[in-house]
Amino acid sequence: MAYLVFFLTILTIGLQVSNRYYLQLFTFIGINTLLTLGLNMLMG
């Protein structure tokens, strides 16, 4: 649940940021968070 809240927060911030660099950065972090969550589900 914490991962979902974290991802949604990053997504919301990313959508509000007008600078394309920061948007890509937040998207990158969000994707890595989802991958980590997926690996934890598979491994755990």
The residue extents of the domains of the chain are: 2-43
> What CA–CA distances, in Å, run from 10 to 38, 42, 43?
17, 23, 25
Q: What's the sign of the alpha-carbon dihedral 33, 42, 1, 11?
A: positive
Is this model's pTM higher than 0.75 or not?
Answer: no
User: How far apart are alpha carbons 15 and 43 in whole angstroms?
Assistant: 31
Instruction: Output the tens digit of pLDDT for each of the chain's 44 residues.
Output: 778 888 788 777 767 766 777 778 888 988 999 899 888 888 87
pLDDT of res. 18? 65
Q: Which amino acid is at 11?
A: L
Cα distance between residue 10 and residue 33, in whole Å: 10
**DSSP summary character for residue 19:** -
Predicted local confidence at residue 32, as pLDDT: 92
